[in-house]
Amino acid sequence: MAFIVKKFGGSSVATTAKIVGVAERVLKEKEPDDKIVLVVSAMGDTTDELISMAKAIDNRPSQREMDMLLSTGEQITISLLTMAFQKLGVDAVSLTGGQAGIATSGVHAKARIVDVNPERILAELDKDKIVVVAGFQGVTELGDITTLGRGGSDTTAVALAGALGADICEIFTDVDGVYSADPRVVKDARRMKEITYNEMLEMARLGAVVMQPRSVEMGKHYGVPIHVRSTFTLEQGTIIREEYTMKEREFTIRGVTHDVNVAKVAILGVPDQPGIAYTIFSALAEKAIDVDMIVQSIRNADKKIIDMVFTISKPDVDQAKVLVEKLVKDMGALGVVIDENVAKVSVVGAGMYGSPGIAATMFGALGEAGVNIEVISTSEISISCLIKEDQVKEAVNAIHQKFFKE
Amino acid sequence: MAFIVKKFGGSSVATTAKIVGVAERVLKEKEPDDKIVLVVSAMGDTTDELISMAKAIDNRPSQREMDMLLSTGEQITISLLTMAFQKLGVDAVSLTGGQAGIATSGVHAKARIVDVNPERILAELDKDKIVVVAGFQGVTELGDITTLGRGGSDTTAVALAGALGADICEIFTDVDGVYSADPRVVKDARRMKEITYNEMLEMARLGAVVMQPRSVEMGKHYGVPIHVRSTFTLEQGTIIREEYTMKEREFTIRGVTHDVNVAKVAILGVPDQPGIAYTIFSALAEKAIDVDMIVQSIRNADKKIIDMVFTISKPDVDQAKVLVEKLVKDMGALGVVIDENVAKVSVVGAGMYGSPGIAATMFGALGEAGVNIEVISTSEISISCLIKEDQVKEAVNAIHQKFFKE
């Protein structure tokens, strides 16, 4: 008997036929006594359709109402998938995030799971039902619906697996595991059998779209192994866990990632006063706008002004623009330039600490490929460079080629 | 200052442009201190689209899952309408049925409102917000989502008006009031300024689609006047209340109604034993299938068998068929015939009790129009005849002509 939480994303449930396919696939792999909890996202384009309805009314709809609107997407999927199981003669029940006991913090559109009360799910499992839970959503103490933001369904799945004490959390996706680089960009990228939470976290943070950082953190927190595998085949993918259990050929780095979902914000001519960085970044944090690479440069020492450059996610650009323009006015800065034509390429590997040659090798690969580096940042297990978005493909291939050549 | 609950149905909110129109209209009529609660249905064809998705998976989906699915329809509308108010600069908040405190009984697809906890709505009104509530839905004690069935949004609106102590409940619809007959069928039907709860109840029960009986009962229970008016004009419609407040020209009857949403079920050769009617109708009641006209006829006194004929709603036919076929087998009856090509025409009026000529006048009108009567039933304030569905139009016109001629 195994206790498994399985998550299927939007493309796996894009049509009613695919939903039936998911139900059939789950039953094919299920052993008689297995306990199965499924977490699903909204069907294919549903979210986009809902967003376009909202935009038809208000170009900047309130996030509380967007959450109310978008959370219907998963609710549609869970009911249809449950019907599919019932049609196949298997008892099943659907639960919204709230019904499944997912308690979230109150930041709309970017809520965090603060608690999981698994009572209802356990009661339904005890009745031998397959439980189908809406991913991406939860409710606040007040009973308001919140969504978890990008990749939220993965987080729901891993958090549930942890709270329920499941053996493993399987994330079904359109790729068949975690690769040394995005296989759509790098032809000879390698699939890994295992990867550690920390490496995966760093790769995810740096743009590997397979898993969102929050869900990997959740797995690390609960110690739940996460199996990233393909929706379309029955073969094994990559298991994310605390430590390796098998030997694989070692390379200095584990992967090359890229992220085009970034924008560069440059606040020019900021008065160089103590507390000015706090003013800027606390204002952004208050609106839950994540800031990544930060570079503070002295422009003119005589005039005591600086430039503050940082990156944010593209979806945050609208909100950040309003906020930063107000900050510029309040601080008496010269202005703000936002550039959405940027991307971040990174190398990741737990073994890179203490290997000083890696940065040089990476910069060399970019230089040879004719790619300019705009901003550089490093962590214990990664090095990242901000470059022009339209040079991503050649940049990633050049770096991958250097590190993963046979 | 007035405290008004306003309900807009699916055709009033069929597109995002119409949703904006509803917001504008509400603001146009709103006095500065008015407290406004809106109840809305799913957008135009949303419900049909959701149903067809479900049918693509299972032709007889479970009703719990259908409720889970269909309740997303209103949730979409409330968020969009709230965005429309916010875009117009007015503070508003959307609430699902559950969030609005609508507690329902557990019969899926046909739940009843058993309680309303108005705390959250009152708290939001105190913050000077317009509150937009999802009609047609509520939650059970377990937290499961239920829908109220046909016309459920009217019931939500009237129940909320009652529980909140609102001054009036306005039902906006595509007709501009209650008529002496359906104006789409009878050209010179008359609009009434007022009608009593009891008359409206009887007309609704007998097929006047303007208001569902359950919502009129709710109004009577709470003593909330219900104003039925047009979405498209600002003029007054018909107010449903306990007693008339103005004098109108009196006719013997108040209205002629028809209902094509009925099916005739004839159980043939039922063994004539005590308790047999209980067996049949308690089985139907258990599945919440409403039974209307009942006629029990002795077919053959020697063989001690009877025929049991009754009418049900067309949407219940599938479920009733399965149930009755099983009953026929268990009881040893001869068989069942279900006829969906029937309709019910009725005359309604509180003053008809003690006017024996009315039945004769009605039957005469039908006879002159060449319409056969299959079943007759009467109440204190109405007389109904079951006829062939394709003769409805001539039947209603013939009756209306007799009673409402100048």
Q: Considering only residues 98 to 127 of chain A, which have any Cβ-Cβ distance to chain B shorter than 8 Å?
A: 98-99, 120
pLDDT mean over A204-209: 82
Pick out the residues of the known binding site of B.
7-10, 47, 74, 173-174, 179, 184
pLDDT mean over A62-91: 97
> What pLDDT is attached to residue B134?
98
> What pLDDT is attached to residue B300?
62
Q: The complex's ipTM? A: 0.76
Cβ neighbour number for residue B405 with a 10 Å cutoff:
8
> What pLDDT is attached to residue B301?
63
Pick out the residues of the known binding site of B for ATP.
7-10, 173-174, 179, 184
Could you please state the CATH topology (level 3) that the domain comprising B3-173 is classified under: Carbamate kinase (3.40.1160)
Interchain CB contact of A88 with B (< 8 Å): no
pLDDT tens for residues A126-171?
999 999 999 999 999 999 999 997 778 999 999 999 999 999 999 9
Say which amino acid occupies A242. E
> What pLDDT is attached to residue B355?
72
> What pLDDT is attached to residue A7?
97
Q: Radius of gyration over alpha carbons of chain B, in Å? A: 22
Say which amino acid occupies A297. S
> What pLDDT is attached to residue A245?
81
Report which DSSP code applies to B99. Answer: T
> What pLDDT is attached to residue B226?
97
- Give the closest residue to A248 by CA, choosing from A209, A201, A190: A190
> In Å, how far are A118, B249, B347, B391 from B396, measured between CA atoms?
58, 21, 9, 9
Q: Do residues B223 and B242 make contact, with C-beta atoms less than 8 angstroms apart?
A: yes
pLDDT mean over A101-105: 95
Q: What percent helix, strand, coil does chain B show, rounded to 5?
A: 40, 30, 35
The CA distance from A210 to the nearest CA of chain B, in Å, is 29
Pick out the residues of the known binding site of A for substrate.
47, 74
**Cβ within 8 Å, pair A120-B99:** no
Alpha-carbon gap, residue A139 to A136, rounded angstroms: 11
Q: Which of A19, A63, A66, A68 to mutate to test the interface with B (most CBs of B within 10 A)?
A: A68
pLDDT tens for residues A317-329?
999 999 999 999 9
Q: Is the pLDDT of residue A91 over 80?
A: yes
The three-state (H, E, C) secondary structure of chain A, written as one string:
CCEEEEEECHHHHCCHHHHHHHHHHHHHHCCCCCEEEEEECCCCCHHHHHHHHHHHHCCCCCHHHHHHHHHHHHHHHHHHHHHHHHHCCCCEEEECCCCCCEEECCCCCCCCEEEECCHHHHHHHHCCCEEEEECCEEECCCCCEEECCCCHHHHHHHHHHHHHCCCEEEEEECCCCEECCCCCCCCCCCEECEEEHHHHHHHHHCCCCCCCHHHHHHHHHHCCCEEEEECCCCCCCEEEECCCCCCCCCCCCCEEEEECCEEEEEEEEEECCCCHHHHHHHHHHHCCCCEEEEEEEEEECCCCEEEEEEEEEHHHHHHHHHHHHHHHHHHCCCEEEEECCEEEEEEECHHHCCCCHHHHHHHHHHHHCCCCCCEEEEECCEEEEEEEHHHHHHHHHHHHHHHCCC
Interchain CB contact of B252 with A (< 8 Å): no
pLDDT tens for residues A176-194?
999 999 988 999 999 989 9
Which are the contacts of A262, defined by CB distance < 8 A and separation ≥ 6? A292, A311, A312, A313, A314, A342, A343, A344, A386
Across the interface, which of B76, B87, B98 has its CB nearest the CB of A69? B76
> What pLDDT is attached to residue A243?
85
**Cβ within 8 Å, pair B62-A75:** no
Give the total residue count for chain A.
Answer: 406
Report which DSSP code applies to B206. Answer: T
Is 0.95 surpassed by the pTM of this model?
no
> What pLDDT is attached to residue B132?
98
Strand order in the sheet with B145-147: B113-116, B102-104, B137-139, B145-147
Strand B194-196 relative to strand B238-241, pairing: parallel
Q: Do residues A210 and A202 make contact, with C-beta atoms less than 8 angstroms apart?
A: no
Task: Give pLDDT tens digits along chain B (406 positions).
Answer: 899 999 999 999 999 999 999 999 999 999 999 999 999 999 999 999 999 999 999 999 999 999 999 999 999 999 999 999 999 999 999 999 999 999 999 889 889 999 999 999 999 999 999 999 999 999 999 999 999 977 789 999 999 999 999 999 999 988 899 999 998 899 999 998 999 999 999 888 888 877 888 889 999 999 999 999 998 888 999 999 998 887 655 667 889 999 999 999 999 988 888 888 888 999 999 888 988 888 887 656 677 888 889 999 999 999 999 999 999 999 999 999 999 999 999 999 877 776 778 888 899 999 999 999 988 888 888 899 999 999 999 999 999 999 987 5
> What pLDDT is attached to residue B295?
83
Q: How many CB pairs under 8 A join A and B?
A: 106
- Give the closest residue to B10 by CA, choosing from B47, B39, B38, B43: B43
Helical pair A197-205 and A213-222, crossing angle rounded to 10 deg: 160
Chain A hits for B100, Cβ within 8 Å: none
**What superfamily in CATH does domain A3-248 come from?**
Acetylglutamate kinase-like (3.40.1160.10)
Long-range contacts of A374-377 (CB under 8 A, 24+ apart): A374/A264, A374/A342, A375/A264, A375/A293, A375/A295, A375/A309, A375/A311, A377/A292, A377/A293, A377/A294, A377/A295
> What pLDDT is attached to residue A359?
86
Alpha-carbon gap, residue B84 to A62, rounded angstroms: 10
Residue with structure tokens 């409720």?
B67
Cα dihedral angle (A162, A168, A170, A175), rounded to 10 degrees? 110
The CA distance from B197 to the nearest CA of chain A, in Å, is 36
Alpha-carbon gap, residue B56 to B53, rounded angstroms: 5
> What pLDDT is attached to residue A209?
75
Q: Which of B43, B57, B129, B144 to mutate to test the interface with A (most CBs of A within 10 A)?
A: B57
> What pLDDT is attached to residue A389?
95
For chain A, the structural domain boundaries read: 3-248
pLDDT tens for residues A243-274?
888 765 566 788 999 999 999 999 998 888 88
Tokens representing residue A396 in the block: 């990633």
Phi/psi for B152 (5° steps) reads: -60, -30
pLDDT mean over A225-250: 86
